[in-house]
């Protein structure tokens, strides 16, 4: 069974979002997604300052099995990328909700996260 923390919101495309009180959010891929991909070998992330609309592809995660696009769960501006993943992409496998985060964004409209799934909804989605 996949780990689905209750304090996060989830997109059906398997990204998670942690919204902070200051209007920023951290984005990564779920435990289910990293497990499905297998051993992650490369992560491509956008440049800081990139403007994203909800649903925009913002990067790629490559593994020994496949390459998978990553999508923005909400609209916003990229404020930080996890550059640690350049040298050690396997951190996404080891700690998808912690050290394996992908980007931080300044959310355009925090209410947009209302369209995402809570932990119970995402757990049902992944069966």
74 to 37, 69, 99: CA distances (angstroms) = 23, 15, 21
pLDDT value of position 110: 82
Is residue 2 over pLDDT 90? no
Over residues 61-70, mean pLDDT: 95
Reading the block at residue 13, the tokens are: 């495309």
Question: What is the share, in percent, of the chain residues with pLDDT greater than 90?
Answer: 89
Q: Which of 109, 107, 105 is nearest to 47 (CA)?
A: 105
pLDDT band at 64 (very low <50, low <70, confident <90, very high): very high
Is residue 1 over pLDDT 80? no
Residue 37 has a CB neighbour count (10 Å cut-off) of: 21
Give me the phi and psi of 33, to 5 degrees please. Answer: -65, -45
Is residue 114 over pLDDT 90? no
CATH hierarchy code of domain 9-109: 2.40.50.100
Q: Where are the domains of the chain?
A: 9-109
End-to-end Cα separation, the chain, in angstroms: 9
pTM here is 0.96
């Amino acid at each position: 069974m996949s780990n689905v923390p209750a304090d996060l919101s989830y997109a059906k495309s398997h990204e998670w979002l942690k919204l902070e009180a200051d209007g920023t959010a951290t984005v990564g891929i779920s435990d289910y997604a990293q497990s499905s991909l297998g051993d992650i070998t490369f992560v491509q992330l956008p440049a800081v300052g990139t403007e994203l609309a909800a649903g925009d592809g913002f990067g790629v995660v490559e593994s020994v099995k496949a390459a998978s696009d990553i999508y923005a769960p909400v609209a916003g501006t990229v404020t930080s990328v996890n550059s640690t993943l350049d040298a050690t992409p396997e951190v996404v496998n080891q700690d998808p909700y912690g050290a394996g985060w992908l980007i931080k964004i300044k959310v355009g409209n925090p209410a947009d996260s209302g369209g995402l799934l809570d932990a119970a909804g995402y757990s049902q989605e992944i069966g």
